[in-house]
Chain A
Amino acid sequence: MVYEAQQGHPGGDFSAADVLATLYFGAMRYDPKNPRDPARDRFVMSKGHCTGAFYSVLAAAGYFPEAELSSYMKPLSMLNGHPNRNYLAGVETNTGPLGHGLPVAIGIAIAGQIDNADFRTFVLTGDGELQEGSNWEAALTAGHRKLENLTLIIDRNRLQQGARTEDTASLDPLDDKWRAFGWHVEMVDGHDHAALLSLLSANPKGRGKPLCVIANTVKGKGVSFMHDNVAWHHGVPNKQQYEQAMAELV
């Protein structure tokens, strides 16, 4: 998609891909034929620039034909560079600017709490994205309201657009920060499907706290020359790189 569109964010797409696959092909309850079913589990893609991974998973889950992926970012495509709920079923809220997903997901979880509904709300943020203050406003509210029906997954690839997170505005100790805000925290290898599935599919009833899963990931996972390389936050492979990446990913 990125090669075809000649733009995108492949590094973050690859770090998030295993988390997304685990959500859509294991942990979440949804029906692409009834995408606004009030009983569905919700997923909010807060790191909205990583549409390469998100759209691939939505297509594989049956929200739209996979052939549509080749229209990514082309004029009038429903596959905007950042997800748009008005074009695309399966998108819960429009994202792109960072720090928007968690507070919206909290509103969804509160609606479920008010109705005593049993749907769950998942939100995926980047780690660099946590530098946006809106996340911490929201973290307070979720902890205060004991939103056990809410799961935040942090794609902890330790790289942001320009440099390492810890060299920019350091986040560690990230687990302690969330605990201090009243969350239950789990750390996991964000590429270990079985471990992710076990955490994300566990029944939240009785936990009494929102869940924060810190998924330790590798930016550019699966492609040797993108691996943990800040240059591939956004970047477009040339023909030779594209062919090498496809060979390595298969």
Chain B
Amino acid sequence: MSAAAPAKAGMFDCRDSFAATIESLAATDPRIVTVVSDSVGSSKLAGFKQKWPERMVNVGIAEQTVVAVGAGLANGGKVPFVSAAACFLSARALEQIKADIAYSNVNVKLIGQSSGVAYGELGPTHHSIEDMAWLRLFNNLTLIVPADPWQTEQAIRAAAAMDGPVFVRVSRMPVPALERSHASFEIGQAETLIEGDDIAIIANGTMVHRAVAAAKILAGEGIRARVVNMATVNPLDESAILAAAETGAIVTVEEHSVRGGLGGAIAEIVTANTPVPMRIMGFPGFVPTGSAEWLMEHFGLTETGIAEAARQTIARKR
């Protein structure tokens, strides 16, 4: 495991928000159990383990089992939160997620920790930049990629409150708390953080605060960029996407491969309705070694990179 990024003032590790929320929920709902694959520390669940040792099931380093045991626990009336590294939880247990969770339509919450390129230097085996593409294909699996600590808490609470399978992708990359005028969260509803009609920048997860910063650069040039936080990838907020298309240009940004993820999902809707120039920003596929921040810089997933992509996409408007 790589060392966590150094904490900076005003920056948050969303895993802390996950851990605090699950402890808060478990205190009043005895059905809530956690299921881990030797991932107590990396899931920040030491506090949960201390409070409710009998309600934590550690199956060891066994991702297929961690998911399937979650399905069984739900059958036994529990509300299991299965927490493991996103890269292994999604890839190594993909068939268990498909057959035991999604196709069986059971009340299991899967928490993919340290998603994206958080484990930058450890290489593509430890990156989880294919998971959104794989997981969004399961039509009944709610898939949420929260952008900051507040939204992580909301996503975990919403997952616990709904009856059905959910996957929440939680980052360990430090992110700031987003500024919001009207804080509300509902599964399947996108959040417009900045209004604008020249272009729409749609992002989720760790890319949202960078999209906000890019919009501020653009505003200084007189370009009014709308910023949409598309935290729920399944079900997608189609009306927010169609409204975004009305600006005439869309840039999508995700800490994920450009193949089949958030951008791909949005492109499916845009091309079927009101095609407009689009630019899908993310990683090309397997990436070279480097820290998460270096990788984001290298592949242009920065405020300046996003702003430049927005200018280029506006230039393609019809």
Contact = CB atoms under 8 A, between A and B. Distances in A.
Contact of A107 (B60, B62, B76): B76
A141 B65 contact: yes
A100 interface: yes
A166 interface: no
B69 A104 contact: yes
B95 A97 contact: yes
Interface stretch (B97-105, B170-178, B276-284): B97-105
Contact of A141 (B62, B75, B105): B62
Interface stretch (B41-49, B51-59, B179-187, B299-307): B51-59
B218 interface: no
Contact of A100 (B62, B68, B75): B68
A84 B75 CA distance: 14
Given A97-B99, A141-B60, A106 B104 contact: no
Given A38-B77, A111-B78, A86 B104 contact: yes
A108 interface: yes
B77 A104 contact: no
A126 interface: no
A104 B62 contact: no
Interface in B58-76: 59-60, 62, 64-65, 68-76
A96 B206 CA distance: 38
B68 to A, nearest CB: 3
B75 A137 contact: no
A110 B69 contact: yes
Given A93-B100, A94-B103, A103-B65, A42 B57 contact: no
A138 B69 CA distance: 9
Interface string B157-195: 000000000000000000000000000000000000000
A114 B78 contact: yes
Contacts of B74: 107
Interface string B18-55: 00000000000000010100000000000000000011
Contacts of A111: 72-73, 75-78
Contact of A112 (B71, B76, B105): B76
B68 A108 contact: no
Contacts of A157: none
Contact of A137 (B59, B70, B77, B100): B59
Nearest to B67: A103
Interface size class of B (residues with CB under 8 A): 20 to 34
A245 interface: no
Contacts of A140: 60, 62
Choose among A42, A103, A109, A112 the residue with the greatest number of B CB atoms under 10 Å from its CB.
Answer: A103
Contacts of B57: 107, 110
A96 B70 contact: no
B100 A104 contact: yes
A93 B108 CA distance: 13
Given A86-B105, A137-B64, A140-B62, A106 B69 contact: yes
A100 B96 contact: yes
Contact of A108 (B55, B64, B72): B72
Contacts of B80: 107
Interface string A82-102: 001110000011111101100
Contact of B75 (A86, A93, A99): A93
Contacts of A110: 57, 69, 72-73, 76
Nearest to B72: A107
A134 interface: yes
B65 A134 contact: yes
Contacts of A137: 59-60, 62, 64-65
A104 B33 contact: no
A205 B77 CA distance: 22
Contacts of B62: 137-138, 140-141
Nearest to B102: A94
B47 to A, nearest CB: 19
B71 A93 contact: yes
B64 to A, nearest CB: 4
A105 interface: yes
Given A42-B75, A93-B75, A107 B99 contact: no
B51 to A, nearest CB: 15
Contact of B33 (A108, A109, A114, A144): A114
22 contacts: A38-B76, A93-B72, A93-B104, A95-B99, A100-B95, A100-B96, A100-B100, A103-B64, A105-B72, A107-B68, A110-B72, A110-B76, A111-B73, A111-B75, A114-B33, A114-B76, A134-B68, A137-B65, A138-B62, A138-B68, A140-B62, A141-B69
Given A107-B72, A108-B73, A134-B96, 14 more contacts: A94-B99, A94-B103, A96-B99, A100-B96, A106-B69, A106-B72, A107-B69, A110-B72, A110-B76, A111-B77, A114-B54, A133-B64, A137-B59, A138-B68
Interface of A: 38, 42, 84-86, 92-97, 99-100, 103-112, 114-115, 117, 133-134, 137-138, 140-141, 144
Nearest 3 Cβ contacts at the A-B interface: A107-B72, A111-B76, A103-B68
